[in-house]
C-alpha cells in the first residue's frame, strides 16, 4: 500500500470522525451542520484545518466562569425589578414607553439587564470626537480607569491612549486594560511591557498558547467598553487604532457610532467589564461600591445587554427581533455585515409585508469579501419585500444601530450575523428615548445623502460573476 493511499485513507477516517462529532456531539444548528459537511466533503484536508480553526464549539471547555462575588447586589435588584414589571408597577418617565415593557422584561429576565432611566448620553459618529472625549475623561480620572477593546493598535492613537494610562497609573489611579488576544494579535510586547512597567494591569482575553499565532478565531471578545471612576461609560463600535480616525488608505473615512453614558447604566457596563476581567486575569476584582457609582444625570432609559457563547440565549438577537416585531412605522438599520439567520430574516420580512418601512444601510467597501457578498445576497432578497437598501459611499460604515418608530434604538458592538449572535462576546445599549432615537434617525437620513440606493432593478442587473459569488458566500454564511 502506497504512502498516498495511507494518507488519503487517514484523511477520510478523520473526516468521518469529524462529521460524526459535528452531527451527534456538538449539535450545531442544521444550516451550520450542512455547511460544514459540505466543506469537509468537497475540500477534505483544507476543510479539516478550517474546522479546527473556526468551527469548534465551547462544548466541554468552559472558558468563561461567572464571578458571583462581582454580582453582589445586582441579582437582588434584577429580581426586584422583575416583580415590579410583573405587577405592572414600573413608573416610566415617558408614558409612551409603556408598550415596551415586554422588551424590558426580555432583557431583564434573560440577560440580567437592569432598566435605568436616569442617564445622559452623548453620541459620537466620528473617531476624532470620540477619542478626544475619552482621553479628556481619562485625564480627569481620580479613582480608576477600565478599558476593554477588541482591537488595539500600536500606532499613533494607541500610543496616545497608552501615554494617558501610564500617566494616570503613576498618579495612583487604578488602571486596568483588557484586550482580545486575536483582535489585537499584532500588538507588540513592547507596548504591553511599557504599560505594565508603569503599574497598569494588563490582561488578554482567551490567549493563544502560541504568541502571535491564534488558531481560534471564534469566541472572541468583540466588546468595546471604557469606564472611568464608575461614573462615565463608553460603549459602541470604535476600536483603538488610526484607521478608526479615518487614516486608513484602504477604507478612508471611518463612519461608526459610539456612546458616552453617565447614569446608572454605567453600573451594568462596569459589571460587564469586571466579569470579563476576572475571566482573563489572575488578579481578580472584588465587588466594591466605588466601582458602581452611577448617578442621576438625565432621563434617558437604557439597558446594557450582553450576549455570547457562554449564554443559553442569543440575547441581543432576541432584542433585535422583539424591536422589529414591535414596529408600527419604520425600522432603520446600519450594519457593516448583514447575514441574518432565518428568525431575524423572517422578522424583517413580516414587518415589511405588514407595511412597516424597512431601511438598511451597509458599506459599499468590503473588508471581508465573502461576508460582503453574503450581505448583498440577503439585502437583495429583502428588496422583494419592499425594503430600501443603501450603500454607504463616504468611506467604511462600521456602525451597528437599529432605530424603531423614533422611540426605541440600539447601539453597540453586535453585527447582524451569526458570529455576533452566537460565537462572539458582545454588548449593546438598548435605549428607550424618543429624542435620542430621532437623533439617530437624523444621522441615518444624513448618511443617505452620502449613499447610493440599491433598487430592485439594479440588483437584478448584477453580473453572473457577482451572482456566483453571492451564491457561494450565502451557502457558506453559517460558518463565516
Residue 47 predicted with pLDDT over 80: no
Residues 238, 244: contact at Cβ < 8 Å?
yes
- Note whether 262 and 344 are same-domain residues: no
Residue 184 predicted with pLDDT over 60: yes
**What is the structure's pLDDT at 287?**
87
Torsion sign across C-alpha atoms 350, 106, 429, 163: negative
**What is the structure's pLDDT at 68?**
47
Nine-digit cell string for 124: 459620537
Residue 367 predicted with pLDDT over 80: no
- Note whether 394 and 446 are same-domain residues: yes
Residues with Cβ within 8 Å of 226's Cβ and at least 6 positions away in sequence, in order, are 134, 138, 145, 146, 147, 148, 232, 233, 234
Nine-digit cell string for 392: 454607504
Residue 342 predicted with pLDDT over 80: yes
**What is the structure's pLDDT at 48?**
55
- Note whether 331 and 241 are same-domain residues: no
Report the CATH number that the domain containing residue 330 is assigned in CATH. 3.30.870.10
* DSSP at 361: E
- pLDDT, one tens digit per residue, over 402-425 is 999 999 999 999 999 988 998 899
Better-scored residue on pLDDT, 58 or 321:
321
The two beta strands, 116-124 and 258-262, are antiparallel
- Note whether 150 and 39 are same-domain residues: no
- Note whether 284 and 320 are same-domain residues: no
Last residue of a domain, one of 34, 55, 76: 55
Residue 63 lies in a domain: no
What pLDDT band is residue 23 in, cutting at 50, 70 and 90?
very low
Find, among 346, 319, 332, the residue nearest to 420 by Cα.
319
The DSSP element (H or E) to which 11 belongs, if any, is helix 3-20
Q: In 3-state terms, the chain is what percent helix, strand and coil (to 5)?
A: 45, 20, 35
Residue 31 predicted with pLDDT over 50: yes
- Note whether 279 and 138 are same-domain residues: yes
Better-scored residue on pLDDT, 383 or 91:
383
Report, as residue numbers or ranges, the catalytic residues.
Answer: 222, 224, 229, 398, 400, 405
- Note whether 160 and 289 are same-domain residues: yes
Residue 56 predicted with pLDDT over 70: no
**What is the structure's pLDDT at 11?**
57
Mean pLDDT of 79-108: 86
Residues with Cβ within 8 Å of 333's Cβ and at least 6 positions away in sequence, in order, are 358, 359, 360, 361, 401, 402, 416
SS3 432: strand
Residues in the chain, overall count? 480
- pLDDT, one tens digit per residue, over 434-477 is 999 999 999 999 999 999 999 999 998 888 888 877 777 766 66
What pLDDT band is residue 311 in, cutting at 50, 70 and 90?
confident
**What is the structure's pLDDT at 437?**
98
Last residue of a domain, one of 275, 299, 323: 299
- Note whether 191 and 268 are same-domain residues: yes
For the chain, the average pLDDT equals 87
Residue 101 lies in a domain: no
- The count of domains in the chain is 3
**What is the structure's pLDDT at 25?**
47
Residue 104 lies in a domain: no
The DSSP element (H or E) to which 392 belongs, if any, is strand 388-392
Task: Give the separation between CA 191 and CA 158, rounded to whole angstroms.
Answer: 9
- Note whether 199 and 286 are same-domain residues: yes
Distances from the Cα of 230 to the Cα of 50, 246, 317, 455, angstroms: 42, 30, 28, 47
Last residue of a domain, one of 299, 330, 364: 299
Distances from the Cα of 277 to the Cα of 61, 132, 174, 178, 203, angstroms: 19, 25, 14, 7, 7
**What is the structure's pLDDT at 60?**
39
Task: Give the separation between CA 76 and CA 78, rounded to whole angstroms.
Answer: 5
Residue 136 predicted with pLDDT over 80: yes
Residue 94 lies in a domain: no
**What is the structure's pLDDT at 66?**
45
Strands (E) located in 214-321: 225-228, 232-236, 254-255, 258-262, 300-307
Nine-digit cell string for 360: 438598511
Whether pTM exceeds 0.75: yes
Of the listed ranges 3-12, 216-225, 309-318, the one predicted with least confidence: 3-12
**What is the structure's pLDDT at 27?**
46
144-173 burial by CB neighbour count: b if 16+ within 10 A, else e? bbbbbbbbbbbbebbeebbebbbebbeeeb
Residue 98 lies in a domain: no
Task: Give the separation between CA 5 and CA 3, rounded to whole angstroms.
Answer: 5
- pLDDT, one tens digit per residue, over 373-388 is 889 899 999 999 999 9
What pLDDT band is residue 22 in, cutting at 50, 70 and 90?
very low
Residues 377, 474: contact at Cβ < 8 Å?
yes
- Note whether 333 and 262 are same-domain residues: no
**What is the structure's pLDDT at 45?**
55
Residue 461 lies in a domain: yes
Residues 35, 475: contact at Cβ < 8 Å?
yes
Task: Give the separation between CA 255 and CA 444, rounded to whole angstroms.
Answer: 11
Distances from the Cα of 55 to the Cα of 47, 187, 208, 341, 417, angstroms: 10, 25, 16, 17, 15
Task: Give the separation between CA 38 and CA 11, rounded to whole angstroms.
Answer: 15
Residue 309 predicted with pLDDT over 60: yes
In the chain the first and final C-alpha atoms are separated, in Å, by: 38
**What is the structure's pLDDT at 192?**
97
Residue 26 lies in a domain: yes
Torsion sign across C-alpha atoms 371, 375, 376, 378: positive
For 129, the domain range is 68-85+117-299
**What is the structure's pLDDT at 24?**
45
**What is the structure's pLDDT at 43?**
60
Nine-digit cell string for 315: 440575547
Residues 336, 459: contact at Cβ < 8 Å?
no
Task: Give the separation between CA 166 and CA 158, rounded to whole angstroms.
Answer: 12
- Note whether 260 and 151 are same-domain residues: yes
**What is the structure's pLDDT at 69?**
44
- pLDDT, one tens digit per residue, over 201-236 is 999 998 876 665 555 677 899 999 999 999 999 999
> How much of the chain exceeds pLDDT 90, in percent?
65
- Note whether 158 and 266 are same-domain residues: yes
- pLDDT, one tens digit per residue, over 140-181 is 999 999 999 999 999 999 999 999 999 999 999 999 999 999
What pLDDT band is residue 32 in, cutting at 50, 70 and 90?
low
Residues 31, 22: contact at Cβ < 8 Å?
no
**What is the structure's pLDDT at 156?**
97
Residue 107 lies in a domain: no
Amino acid at each position: 500500500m502506497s504512502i498516498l493511499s495511507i494518507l488519503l485513507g487517514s484523511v477520510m477516517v478523520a473526516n468521518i470522525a469529524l462529521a460524526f462529532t459535528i452531527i451527534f456531539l456538538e449539535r450545531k444548528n442544521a444550516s451550520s451542520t450542512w455547511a460544514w459537511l459540505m466543506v469537509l466533503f468537497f475540500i477534505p484536508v483544507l476543510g479539516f484545518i478550517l474546522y479546527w480553526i473556526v468551527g469548534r464549539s465551547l462544548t466541554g471547555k468552559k472558558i468563561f466562569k461567572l464571578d458571583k462575588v462581582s454580582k453582589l447586589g445586582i441579582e437582588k435588584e434584577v429580581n426586584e425589578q422583575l416583580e415590579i414589571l410583573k405587577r405592572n408597577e414600573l413608573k416610566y418617565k415617558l408614558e409612551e414607553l409603556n408598550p415596551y415593557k415586554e422588551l424590558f422584561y426580555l432583557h431583564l429576565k434573560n440577560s440580567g439587564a437592569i432598566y435605568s432611566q436616569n442617564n445622559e448620553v452623548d453620541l459620537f459618529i466620528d473617531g476624532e470626537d470620540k477619542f478626544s472625549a475619552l482621553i479628556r475623561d481619562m485625564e480627569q480620572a481620580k479613582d480608576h480607569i477600565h478599558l476593554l477593546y477588541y482591537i488595539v493598535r500600536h500606532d499613533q492613537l494607541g500610543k496616545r491612549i497608552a501615554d494617558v494610562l501610564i500617566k494616570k497609573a503613576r498618579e495612583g489611579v487604578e488602571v486596568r486594560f483588557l484586550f482580545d488576544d486575536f483582535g489585537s494579535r499584532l500588538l507588540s510586547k513592547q507596548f504591553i511591557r511599557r504599560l505594565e512597567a508603569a503599574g497598569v494591569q494588563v490582561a488578554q482575553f482567551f490567549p493563544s498558547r502560541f504568541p502571535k499565532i491564534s488558531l481560534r478565531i471564534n469566541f472572541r471578545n468583540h466588546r468595546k467598553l471604557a469606564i472611568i471612576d464608575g461614573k462615565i461609560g463608553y460603549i459602541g463600535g470604535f476600536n483603538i487604532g488610526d484607521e478608526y480616525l479615518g487614516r486608513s488608505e484602504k477604507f478612508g473615512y471611518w463612519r461608526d457610532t459610539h456612546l458616552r453614558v453617565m447614569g446608572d447604566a454605567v453600573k451594568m457596563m462596569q459589571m460587564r467589564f469586571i466579569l470579563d476581567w476576572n475571566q482573563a486575569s489572575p488578579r481578580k476584582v472584588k465587588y466594591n461600591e466605588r466601582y458602581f457609582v452611577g448617578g442621576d444625570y438625565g432621563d434617558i432609559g437604557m439597558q446594557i445587554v450582553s450576549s455570547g457563547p457562554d449564554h443559553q440565549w442569543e440575547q441581543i438577537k432576541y432584542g433585535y427581533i422583539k424591536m422589529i416585531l414591535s414596529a408600527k412605522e419604520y425600522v432603520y438599520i446600519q450594519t457593516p455585515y448583514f447575514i441574518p439567520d432565518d428568525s431575524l430574516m423572517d422578522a424583517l420580512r413580516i414587518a415589511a409585508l405588514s407595511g412597516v418601512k424597512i431601511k438598511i444601510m451597509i458599506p459599499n467597501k468590503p473588508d471581508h469579501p465573502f461576508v460582503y457578498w453574503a450581505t448583498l445576497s440577503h439585502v437583495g432578497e429583502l428588496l422583494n419585500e419592499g425594503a430600501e437598501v443603501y450603500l454607504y459611499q463616504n468611506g467604511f460604515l462600521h456602525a451597528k444601530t437599529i432605530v424603531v418608530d423614533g422611540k426605541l434604538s440600539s447601539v453597540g458592538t453586535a453585527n447582524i450575523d451569526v458570529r455576533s449572535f452566537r460565537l462572539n462576546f458582545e454588548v449593546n445599549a438598548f435605549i428607550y428615548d424618543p429624542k435620542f432615537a430621532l437623533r439617530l434617525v437624523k444621522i441615518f437620513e444624513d448618511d443617505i445623502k452620502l449613499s447610493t440606493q440599491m433598487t430592485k432593478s439594479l440588483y437584478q442587473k448584477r453580473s453572473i460573476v457577482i451572482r456566483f459569488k453571492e451564491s457561494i458566500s450565502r451557502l457558506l454564511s453559517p460558518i463565516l
